[in-house]
Amino acid sequence: MVSPDQSHSVCRPTSVGCSRRHFLEASAAVTTVTLGVLFPNRVFSEDENRSVRVVHLPRQKVGRLSELQIDQPVYFRYPDDSDLSVCMLVRTGERSGGGIGADQDVVAFSCRCTHLGGSLEQEYRSRHKVVGPCPLHLTTFDVTRHGMVVAGHATQALPQILLESDGDDVVAVGIAGLLYGRSRNDQFLSPV
Amino acid sequence: MSRQDDSVLPDSVPLPPPDAVSVSTACDYCIVGCGYRVWVWPEGTQGGPAAAENALGVDYPVDEASGRWISPNQHGHCMVDGRRHHLVVLPDPDATVVNPGGNHSIRGGCLAQKPWDPEGATQDRLTRPLLRVHGKLRPISWDDAIDILAQISRYVLDRHGRSAWGMKTYSYQFFENTWAISRLAFETIQTPAWAPHDKPGPGNDTAGLDDAGIVPFSASYDDWSQADVIFFSGTDPYETKTVAWTEWMMRPGIRHIYVLPRRTTGVAWAEASGGLFLQIIPGTDTILHLALARIILENGWEDTEFIDRWIAGRWEIDSGFGRGTRNTPWQWRTTWGRFGASFEEYRDWILNNPDAELSSAASVTGIPAKKILAAAEMIARPVDGRRPKASFALEKGNYWSNNYLNTASYSSLALLCGAGNRPGRVVSRMGGHQRGWYGAEAYPRVFSPEKQVGRRRKEIDLDRWVESGHLRFAWVIGTTWTQAMAASQELMDTFRRLTRGSDHQITSARVAQAVQSLKRRVDSGGMVVVHQDIYPVAPIGTEFADLVLPAATWGEDDFTRCNGERRLRLYPKFCDPPGEARPDWWIISQFAQKMGFRDYEWKSGSDVFDQAARSGRRSILNYHPLVVYAHRMGLTGHELLRRLGTTGIQTPVRWRRTLTESQAYRDYAGYVDDPSVAGAIIGTKRLHDAETDFGQPEGPTVHMKWLSAFRSHSGKGLLHKTPWEEFSDFYERIRPQGDELWVTMGRINEIWQTGFDALRTKYLRDRWPMQFVEIHPDDAQPRGIETGDLVAVENRDVLIQTGGFVGVEKGSQSFSGLMNAGQIRIGTGRYEGVAIVTTAIRPGVVWSNALNATQPPNSVVHRVPDPITNRYRFKLGKGRVTRLSESPLKHDLKQMSFRQRDIM
């Protein structure tokens, strides 16, 4: 769980607008609950009774802060184990939107291009802090700015995996943005 | 099936249910015009992820490159019969042409955000006619609006003449509208005071290409894909003709050469794929072309077989087949002797021209000699006896820096290499907007106030006409006008003075009183402005216009037009226009009827389309045989086009008794062979095509010479000498001095035109929240500029031509002649943007988004058109760049990426 203050640091402005509320919706919802119940004593008073749909995405340990080397991405699958679920965790070495860790530079993204689904695995360019160019049509994404398109054709930023730290553990807790191929992020392709 | 309507989360999209209404259409934006599919269904329902539960008939999740994934920006809302509906707009996954399999750009990919949604970001669409009363726009009825429009028009035409009544309109927003506009302006009113959105007057964009006999849109996308090498001049199609590039040009085995001052994504790909980047000093392309031609001729790499067969000799240049084309712009230019040349004359001229020497050209263009040499080898040197198949693509970086000389020298270079009329060996513009002009009548040049020395009249420069105080009424349709033209701020000042600066303003919404105020204004030298558009546009609509008329657009009525390979398709209605907004053809028809003009009583866009067909029978966009065929099938032209979906049919459309074209040709060009109707109709894949058997013209088919030969007198291509002196006086005068830098500009991939749609889409606005100025580190550092800083670009030396409408003495209309005659004044211009310090741009040059309407870089561009063609040198601005402050974007992680765009 995150505090409202932390929620800002893991929230990303998505293509449809970012607010703390959006983050809560995105990382929360399938049952309908009030924010006050979901995050007791940790929401702004005007949001206490707001209802949200909660999509339960799994919490998954994806790395250890102490083991992450700058510009050395590690790959994991989230929220399930399919080919479309490959994600990248990277310490960029500079303050990054949604970054965690002492320097707010640890971020994670889906590795499927949001243009036509090309694989971006191994396409991190450390010098530029971008993912891409996608091998299909050359789209690039800025990993320090919430996966925003630098140049190219994708109609959505690269989905950002919401991270929390639990001691030294880096934990994936949700996704901001829609993963390529799905109409909802909780369309699991195989059991996790 | 899930039937609950969820509030849309950032991480999901509703799927169209199986009963969603589905239509096929094409993109509203760039020239490529990818095929799209639209699904519309009422709010409160949605489909499910199983194939049987959704209209796409697939199980979600879908796999890579399925073409059936719906991103959140591909879902939006629109109104249908007054009720809010869901809307999904996807590239047509079943497309077989243009964008096979559903490839798309970021612009078209966000089309679902375009339609009017009264609860969304498009809620500020114009919904009612507005009249400026006491300085404020307030709603009036259509009847009153048309009444005022007609009364003041009648008055201006009667009192001040047809040249005082003008229009500035888009040239591309659908055949139905442009045909209505041209019918009104050119056939009925016959005003010479008309200009398209992107230039000061009508006429050729790329006159040098036309004079060479090459139709600027003669090639098909498939023709490019068969090249060994493509020479790109002044364009990286990756940026804004995206799918033509990613689908048809970015292929293994095709080497690209780019001539640009700025390294782009396409350039980076080219360099990584065996191609070349010639990073040119703005404005020097002609010299480069001459140097390349000289290297080719010195080495004997020209395509002799092609030249012998296809290049006009001296007799063909001089005499042709009679006097028919004597008094045309083509003849004025080519028979001056200075330009037109046989192959032998051209070769002698080049080999004796010091401007064409490699070392000199390297110095003028700033391109290393070895790269120029390598480019010449790549496009022309035979390897093992085989000539490379070279194609030539150009766009505004070429023809908007030195219009005539660049396009003419480029054409000559291409023809020497054997390009122009064969697959893999084509010459064409890549294009900007789609080809949507369907002229009802030719521009009435005989009434134009402009005249070349010793020649007959030429097309008007409407901006100069306004500045000179001759225009009293301006009907502006679908353009910003001032920001799109050169010396923008100076032009805005003129508009302000002639409209809001007048003593005569409307103080009553009553028609008679409003018209009286406007009459007083035009009689006192002021101007009435009417702006017709889809949004309030600053400042032409929000500040200058007295009357604002709301237009319907893409998806709100049935429209048609062609893409960059002349592919004609229907863009059907699928949602409501906002409020009382109407298609432009309807507004024209109401006005014309009020004026008492005959034959404007169209009931629908389909009526207009069918009636317009005859006007284009000699045009490359001719679709008349399609309408004839449709009528024989018992259909309207629109109905038949609807059946042709995203494939459509490539113009000119031909009717044939029996098709002899191969099945592959038919499938690509589009055809209809209906067993109930005699014969068939088929599209035309490539112009100047001597290889395809077109047979004899049959039925309503018209065969123009350019179908199977070049568009010239003799059917042959024409070489042109392009003496640098025609341009050098102007060029020397405008070169940056002291700490000035070249200011050049272009489109940026993520934004279409001024961003009228894109900047209302949060996703795209976050990418480019404001104007930007790319500057090289060598130029940034001494000015203390860092990426993310706000900078100003200021030119206190903006040259503006004030007169010279009629040329009498030889040389009086050249730049030097105008200077000597005191017909150039000096103005100022300035714009701001956020700095991006990057090695992608050439030192000494800054680059901005050409079409940013809030901070238009055209403000620092000289308003002195090419005297040969009346075209501005938009790409050759200059200015001093100074740091103002740190912009808020510098440390903002949510908006604007400053990363390089040429990463490979």
Q: Distance, in angstroms, between B305 CA and closest chain A CA? A: 38
Q: Is residue A55 within 8 angstroms of chain B, CB to CB?
A: yes
ipTM, two decimals: 0.95
Residue A1 scores a pLDDT above 60: no
- List, in sequence order, every beta strand (DSSP E) within B395-486: 427-429, 450-451, 457-458, 473-477
Tokens of B749: 């991939």
CATH 3.30.43.10 fits B21-113, yes or no: no
Q: Is residue A111 within 8 angstroms of chain B, CB to CB?
A: no
Mean pLDDT, range B145-152, rounded to an integer: 98
Residue B661 scores a pLDDT above 50: yes
Whether B228 contacts B220, CB under 8 Å: no
On whether residue A107 sits in a domain, the answer given is: yes
Q: Where are the alpha helices (DSSP H) in A118-183?
A: none
On whether residue A145 sits in a domain, the answer given is: yes
- Is residue B728 classed as helix, strand or coil in its secondary structure? helix
B712 confidence band (pLDDT: 50, 70, 90): confident
The answer to whether the CB atoms of B897 and A149 lie below 8 A apart is: yes
Q: Distance, in angstroms, between A23 CA and closest chain B CA? A: 9
pLDDT for res B2: 31
Residue B744 scores a pLDDT above 60: yes
Which residues of chain A lie closer than 8 angstroms to B8, CB-CB? 16
Pick the CATH number of B124-199+453-558+570-612 from 3.40.50.920, 3.40.50.740, 3.40.50.720, 1.10.730.10: 3.40.50.740
On whether residue A110 sits in a domain, the answer given is: yes
Q: Where are the alpha helices (DSSP H) in B429-581?
A: 462-467, 488-498, 511-523
Residue A168 scores a pLDDT above 50: yes
When the pLDDT of each residue in chain B is averaged and rounded to a whole number, the result is: 95
CB < 8 Å from B in window 154-183 of A? 154-157, 159, 175-183
A33 has which bridge partners?
Answer: A52
Whether B69 contacts A181, CB under 8 Å: yes
Domain count, chain A: 1
CB < 8 Å from B in window 125-154 of A? 125, 128-130, 132-133, 136-138, 140, 142, 144-146, 148-154
Which residues of chain A lie closer than 8 angstroms to B106, CB-CB? 149, 152-155
pLDDT for res A13: 30
Residue B561 scores a pLDDT above 50: yes
On whether residue A29 sits in a domain, the answer given is: yes
Residue A25 scores a pLDDT above 60: no
Which residues of chain B lie closer than 8 angstroms to A13, CB-CB? 766, 894-895
Residue B87 scores a pLDDT above 70: yes
The answer to whether the CB atoms of A183 and B12 lie below 8 A apart is: yes
Q: Distance, in angstroms, between B89 CA and closest chain A CA? A: 12
Residue A54 scores a pLDDT above 70: no
A-to-B residue pairs, Cβ atoms closer than 8 angstroms = 181
Determine the structural domain holding residue A124 and report its residue range: 4-176
In Å, what is the CA distance from B600 to each residue of A45, B153, B707, B785? 63, 17, 33, 58
Q: Is residue A100 within 8 angstroms of chain B, CB to CB?
A: no
Residue of B nearest to A30 (CA): B6
The answer to whether the CB atoms of B903 and A125 lie below 8 A apart is: yes
Mean pLDDT, range B329-351, rounded to an integer: 82
Q: What is the pLDDT of residues B764-800, one digit of tens each?
A: 999 999 999 999 999 999 999 999 999 999 999 999 9
CA distance B628 to B861: 47
pLDDT for res A186: 86
B387 confidence band (pLDDT: 50, 70, 90): very high
Residue of B nearest to A146 (CA): B894
Task: Name the fold adopted by B731-891.
Answer: Barwin-like endoglucanases (2.40.40)
A16 confidence band (pLDDT: 50, 70, 90): very low
Q: What is the pLDDT of residues B450-509, one digit of tens each?
A: 988 877 788 999 999 999 999 999 999 999 999 999 999 999 999 999 999 999 999 999
Residue B145 has φ and ψ, to the nearest 5°, of -60, -45
Residue B578 scores a pLDDT above 70: yes
Q: What is the pLDDT of residues B96-110, one digit of tens each?
A: 999 999 999 999 999
Residue B902 scores a pLDDT above 90: yes
Residue B53 scores a pLDDT above 80: yes
Residue A21 scores a pLDDT above 50: no
Lowest mean pLDDT among B164-168, B248-252, B324-328, B521-525: B324-328
Write out the H or E segment, with its range, that includes residue B867: none
pLDDT for res A39: 57
Q: Is residue A18 within 8 angstroms of chain B, CB to CB?
A: yes
Which residues of chain A lie closer than 8 angstroms to B900, CB-CB? 128, 150
Q: Which of A53, A146, A176 sits opposite B893 (nearest CB)?
A: A146
pLDDT for res B322: 42
Q: What is the pLDDT of residues B370-380, one digit of tens each?
A: 999 999 999 99
Q: What is the pLDDT of residues B244-303, one digit of tens each?
A: 999 999 999 999 999 999 999 999 999 999 999 999 999 999 999 999 999 999 999 999
Q: What is the pLDDT of residues B302-323, one digit of tens each?
A: 999 999 999 999 888 876 544 4
- The ranges assigned to domains in chain B are 21-113, 124-199+453-558+570-612, 218-430, 619-703, 731-891
Mean pLDDT, range A37-54, rounded to an integer: 61
B864 confidence band (pLDDT: 50, 70, 90): very high
Which residues of chain B lie closer than 8 angstroms to A96, CB-CB? 893
Lowest mean pLDDT among B513-517, B712-716, B764-768, B843-847: B712-716
Sign of the dihedral through C-alpha B888, B892, B897, B899: positive
In Å, what is the CA distance from A162 to each residue of A7, A64, B857? 10, 15, 40
Among A14, A92, A183, most B C-beta atoms within 10 A, so best to mutate, is A183
pLDDT for res B3: 29
A18 confidence band (pLDDT: 50, 70, 90): very low
Q: Specify the CATH class of B218-430 in words.
A: alpha beta
Whether B646 contacts B95, CB under 8 Å: yes
CA distance A114 to A14: 13
On whether residue A65 sits in a domain, the answer given is: yes
Whether B57 contacts B35, CB under 8 Å: no
pLDDT for res B808: 86
- Is residue B756 classed as helix, strand or coil in its secondary structure? coil
Q: Which of A25, A114, A149 sits opposite B750 (nearest CB)?
A: A149
- Buried b vs exposed e over B24-57: b needs ≥16 C-beta within 10 Å? bbbbbbbbbbbbbbbbbbbeebbbbbeeebbbbe
Q: What is the pLDDT of residues B438-456, one digit of tens each?
A: 999 999 999 999 988 877 7
Residue A77 has φ and ψ, to the nearest 5°, of -115, 135
Nearest to B63 by CA among A179, A147, A89, A1: A179
Give the domain CATH number at A152.
2.102.10.10
Mean pLDDT, range A152-157, rounded to an integer: 96
Residue A42 scores a pLDDT above 80: no
Mean pLDDT, range B227-232, rounded to an integer: 98
Q: Distance, in angstroms, between B2 CA and closest chain A CA? A: 13
Q: Distance, in angstroms, between B502 CA and closest chain A CA? A: 44
Pairing outcome for strands A74-77 and B75-80: unpaired
Residue B398: how many CA atoms within 13 Å on its side-chain side?
Answer: 32
